[in-house]
Amino acid sequence: MNLPVNLSGTGRRVLISGASRGLGRALARAFAENGDRVAVHYGSREEDARATLDSLAGEGHVLVGGDLSDPAGAADVAGRAAEALGGIDVLVNNAAVNQPHPLADTPYEEWAALWQRHVSVNLLATANLSHLAARRMIDQGTGGRIVNIGSRGAFRGEPDHPAYGAT
């Protein structure tokens, strides 16, 4: 079912990755208060995500868990969100990992694994979800918006979290 989309008002179908707490929770609440229906994504914090979902104004919101570090997991999250909402009009890429790995204290094998994890979630999941949402927006013929959340770490560096700053 394709619902009419008003990108400047209410009624949008919004997928927010990493919406279990913090900025993702605040964004979910803001979209819901605007009359939008929100797919609240979480990777590992299901209880926190349920608290976000329970705090949303309005109706029609959905909880969508899944591992975005895997392309198939990202496709599953986008697909379940689109199915539950009837499409996607807005994607907010907010999910990220930020695990410490200071050079002086981190063995190489752990260092390499942490870099892979950061790149998989913070960079590639953003690209994958963006493609999946944009393709749906094109196919729906409605257009839409994709918002990518960044971090000050990209501009100031993160000595104990270099992969986070880079991604």
Is 164 tagged catalytic?
A: yes
Q: 3-class SS at 93? A: strand
pLDDT digits (tens, 9 = 90+) for 116-143: 999 999 999 999 999 999 999 999 898 9
C-alpha to C-alpha distance for 130 and 148, rounded to whole angstroms: 9
Q: What is d(CA 22, CA 165) in angstroms, rounded to the nearest whole number?
A: 19
Residue in 89, 13, 23 with CA at minimum distance from that of residue 58: 13
Domains of the chain: 13-166 (3.40.50.720)
| Token couple for 115 | 């870099």
Nearest to 92 by CA among 150, 46, 34: 150
Which of 64, 118, 136, 164 is flagged as catalytic?
164
DSSP lists the bridge partners of residue 160 as none
pTM score over 0.85: yes
What's the confidence (pLDDT) of residue 5? 41
Residue position matching structure tokens 């979902």? 53
